[in-house]
Chain A
Amino acid sequence: MSDTITAQAACPECDASVGFGREPLSGQVCRCPDCGVELEVTCLSPLTLEVAPEIEEDWGE
């Protein structure tokens, strides 16, 4: 079931607990529920998240 948390890790940006409904995959992108930052799963054991590269709102203008 996708509403059951099977794994969780700390957000590197705000330290919130980020939960996964299914087993996370390496390279998977998710979003922190508190600060909204996009995160990438960079390691499965231990489960590690890093901030994903960001597209700026002004698109570089």
Chain B
Amino acid sequence: MTLTASLIGGTGFTGGELLRLLVGHPMVEIGQVSSRKSVGKPLHSSHPNLRGHIDRLFCASEEIEACDVLFLCMPHGKAAAEIDRWRGVGKTVIDLSADFRLHDPVSYEHWYGGEHPAPEALTHAVYGLPEVSRDLIRGASLISGVGCNATAMMLALLPLARAGLIERVIADIKVGSSESGAEPAAGSNHAVRARAARTYSPHGHRHIAEVIQSLGPIDLDATVTAIDMVRGVLCTAHVEPKEAVTTRDLWKLYREAYGEEPFVRIVADRTGPGRFPDPRVVVGSNHADVGFAVDERSGRVVALCAIDNLIKGAAGSAVQAMNVALGLEEQSGLGFPGLHPA
């Protein structure tokens, strides 16, 4: 069985990484890839790493034909506006924007600052992070992609939230420049972005909503800082626990949560430069490295997670969700272990 997968909006970083993963997927044949600006150009005009791996030209979205899986890689707000159309094209639709991440239209309006374009479709959408919603993803026909910062927060905190241990948590998140996408902006040109350590969201980041939706009503805030890194997210969550915990307790909780997860690794060594999660170690891979430590003086738990924002935080989770939804081997197309040194 070979599935045909097409992309709407394939010129961005997420689209490029999705294509890279799908090129190596044993069960998928890439169908068509649309673009607003690059119709008629080869895919490698936007993604030079794919030269020689895929012989396709970008097409217009109007030319996209029926397919098994349709990935939507459009700016936020665009997918929802035409979701009925896209659901008529792909048997399974996976939207990598934020349009279908939140189930509640009121919550969407609060966090995204406008009415949802298709609130009725929210009831059909499933959140596409297998580690938190695997059973719901199986057989789903409309799957939402994940927020990269949300993914890092959720995977750092999920074992603690399931155990009801979180009294309050502040997540300090460091992110790479690819989070802001392929379109240039005032804050993304090299002179401004290089060597930056720029806090652009001191509190109230919208990805908090996804975390609370998935983990329950925890007292969470987040600070996001752009650092001198192209790819990657490092979430360092400072947790005030409801009761005292030991490192040994945390090993038990994290093993229970992630012992069977194919892409989550526990990294909490006592010594060495790789003792805690580091985004460089997961670059290009679908791994999420999680770790933890306990401050015996204050009782504070430090929970960490490192991901590649473009892979586990976007394209990789989308492919993983596709595999789960369609009953494929969950790790298909996602076996790349990352680079070292990166």
Q: Are A14 and B247 in contact (CB under 8 A)?
A: yes
When distances are taken between beta carbons in the complex, the residues of chain B under 8 Å from A14 are 247-248, 251, 268
* Interface 1/0 per residue, A33-61 and B, CB below 8 Å: 01111100000000000000010010000
Q: Are A35 and B252 in contact (CB under 8 A)?
A: no
Minimum Cβ distance to chain A for residue B121 (Å): 44
Determine the distance from Cα of A54 to Cα of B272 in the docked complex, in whole angstroms.
12
Q: Are B272 and A36 in contact (CB under 8 A)?
A: yes
Contact residues of A between 3 and 48, Cβ < 8 Å to B:
13-16, 34-38
B266 in contact (CB, < 8 A): yes
Count of chain B residues with Cβ under 8 Å from any Cβ of A?
A: 11
Name which of A14, A36, A57 has the most chain B CB atoms within 10 A of its CB: A14
Q: Are A36 and B247 in contact (CB under 8 A)?
A: no
Closest residue of chain A to B270 (Cβ to Cβ) is A37
Q: Are B251 and A35 in contact (CB under 8 A)?
A: yes
When distances are taken between beta carbons in the complex, the residues of chain A under 8 Å from B268 are 14, 35
When distances are taken between beta carbons in the complex, the residues of chain B under 8 Å from A16 are 251
When distances are taken between beta carbons in the complex, the residues of chain A under 8 Å from B270 are 13, 35-38, 54
Determine the distance from Cα of A46 to Cα of B52 in the docked complex, in whole angstroms.
60
When distances are taken between beta carbons in the complex, the residues of chain B under 8 Å from A15 are 248, 251-252
B65 in contact (CB, < 8 A): no
B269 in contact (CB, < 8 A): yes
When distances are taken between beta carbons in the complex, the residues of chain B under 8 Å from A35 are 247, 251, 268-270
Q: Are B269 and A13 in contact (CB under 8 A)?
A: no
Determine the distance from Cα of A46 to Cα of B242 in the docked complex, in whole angstroms.
36
Minimum Cβ distance to chain A for residue B137 (Å): 29
When distances are taken between beta carbons in the complex, the residues of chain A under 8 Å from B247 are 13-14, 35
* Interface 1/0 per residue, B243-276 and A, CB below 8 Å: 0000110011000000000000010111110010
Minimum Cβ distance to chain A for residue B23 (Å): 35
Name which of A34, A35, A36, A37 has the most chain B CB atoms within 10 A of its CB: A35
When distances are taken between beta carbons in the complex, the residues of chain B under 8 Å from A36 are 269-272, 275
Q: Are B271 and A13 in contact (CB under 8 A)?
A: no
Determine the distance from Cα of A13 to Cα of B271 in the docked complex, in whole angstroms.
13
Minimum Cβ distance to chain B for residue A4 (Å): 24
Name which of B251, B266, B272, B275 has the most chain A CB atoms within 10 A of its CB: B251
When distances are taken between beta carbons in the complex, the residues of chain A under 8 Å from B272 are 36
Minimum Cβ distance to chain A for residue B301 (Å): 15
Contact residues of B between 127 and 180, Cβ < 8 Å to A:
none
Q: Are A34 and B251 in contact (CB under 8 A)?
A: yes
Q: Are B271 and A38 in contact (CB under 8 A)?
A: yes
Determine the distance from Cα of A57 to Cα of B272 in the docked complex, in whole angstroms.
8
When distances are taken between beta carbons in the complex, the residues of chain A under 8 Å from B269 are 35-37
Closest residue of chain B to A36 (Cβ to Cβ) is B269
Minimum Cβ distance to chain A for residue B114 (Å): 47
When distances are taken between beta carbons in the complex, the residues of chain B under 8 Å from A34 are 251, 266
When distances are taken between beta carbons in the complex, the residues of chain A under 8 Å from B248 are 13-15
Determine the distance from Cα of A35 to Cα of B254 in the docked complex, in whole angstroms.
12
Q: Report which B residues bind A (CB closer than 8 A).
A: 247-248, 251-252, 266, 268-272, 275
Other than the given A14-B247, A36-B272, 14 more pairs (CB < 8 A) read A14-B248, A14-B251, A14-B268, A15-B248, A15-B251, A16-B251, A35-B268, A35-B270, A36-B275, A37-B269, A37-B270, A37-B271, A38-B271, A54-B271
The 20 sampled A-B contact pairs (Cβ below 8 Å) are A13-B270, A14-B247, A14-B248, A14-B251, A15-B251, A15-B252, A16-B251, A34-B266, A35-B251, A35-B268, A35-B269, A35-B270, A36-B270, A36-B271, A36-B275, A37-B269, A37-B270, A37-B271, A38-B270, A54-B270
Q: Which are the 7 A-B pairs with shortest beta-carbon distances?
A: A36-B269, A14-B251, A37-B270, A36-B270, A35-B270, A36-B271, A35-B269
